[in-house]
Amino acid sequence: MKKLSSLLVSFALVLVSCGGSNEVVATVNGVDVTVGDVEALIDRGDESTIAKEEFAQVLTFRIVYTIMTRDAEDEFGITFSDEEIAAEADGIMVTGLPQGQTREAFLEERRVTEQYLQEVAQQSLVFAAVVEAMAADLEPPTQEQIDTQMARSVTEVCAAHILVGTEEEADEVAARLADGEEFAALAAELSLDGSGAQGGDLGCQPAAGYVPEFAAAAMIAEVGVATDPVQTQFGFHILLVSQRTEAPPEEWPTEDQIIEFLLNQVAGPASQEWFTEKAAAAEVEVNEKYGTWQTEPTPQVVPPTE
């Protein structure tokens, strides 16, 4: 979440007319969200007012939280204890806390409270549980899919690429390479991503770290020879693999881990689609003093203009 203190528009006029912390600012599928519910998530520091944009951002978070947690419980029976949520919050801090900064300072800098962190943790747990529930209903991957993913997971590929937007551009790149132009120079000139500054170098990593089409090409490319154009969601790539090495057997994932990964590849996007549908279908009413609710392009409260 971006630093909310950068939002400078005063929310004083809205707050002056409020009936207090029990005033209902939104109703979500029949559940009331009050001014106090939202204010409990914001660390306003020494400020006496809250910018209307800041309030709308945090109200959006609270509405999303209400939709996700209640629908996950109703549809999948997903709930978590306070202890489980607290442990997840601690884990978020372990991985996300900058070195030398305290938890309190981290939250204060972002103008959010400990309660906000706890609700972030609960959402994280709920989403992971929805993914798990959806994965349990999927057909298991075939042995061929498992073997392919295993090979990609244990094979480290050192590669560079040139990324362009169209197949015609990719064919032109291939022709220029065939005429003897340097791969790195063309990457610096043409590549659409930041790797162009390094001559297209992507470093070395397991092939499984790339999108599937790129990974498949990286696994079969002749070392030291530029490939034909490969299309992915990002555009068209010309790959140049400089090295492929296999990890020692003791570092290989288990077959169960590979199966879990493959199921989650499908269940993850399906879970996101589930939530998007739930947010779009939710009955959300927002007090016009605090903004309006919209679901496109993303679910959010749009703050009032006055």
DSSP state of 289: T
Task: Say if residues 160 and 184 touch (Cβ distance below 8 Å).
Answer: yes
Peptide bond into 206 cis (omega under 30): no
- Is the predicted pLDDT of residue 17 greater than 90, yes or no? no
Which whole-number Å values give the CA distances from 294 to 46, 99, 303, in the listed order? 32, 38, 11
Q: 82-106 pLDDT, tens per residue?
A: 999 999 999 999 888 888 899 999 9
Write out the CATH class of domain 143-248: alpha beta
Cβ contacts of 107 within 8 Å, gap of 6 or more: 43, 113, 114, 116, 117
Q: Residue type at 205?
A: Q
Cβ contacts of 12 within 8 Å, gap of 6 or more: 48, 49
Q: How far is CA 244 from the centre of its chain?
A: 29
pLDDT at residue number 95: 86
**Surface-to-core class of residue 87, CB atoms within 10 Å of its CB (0-12 exposed, 13-18 middle, 19+ buried):** middle
- Is the predicted pLDDT of residue 5 greater than 60, yes or no? no
The CA distance from 299 to 293, in Å, is 7
> Would you list the domain boundaries of the chain?
4-137+268-302, 143-248
Task: Tell me which long-range contacts 192-199 makes (C-beta under 8 A, separation of at least 24).
Answer: 192/163, 192/164, 192/165, 192/234, 192/235, 193/163, 193/234, 195/160, 195/161, 195/163, 196/162, 199/160
Write out the CATH class of domain 4-137+268-302: mainly alpha
Q: 171-183 pLDDT, tens per residue?
A: 999 999 999 999 9
The CA distance from 103 to 101, in Å, is 7
pLDDT at residue number 20: 60
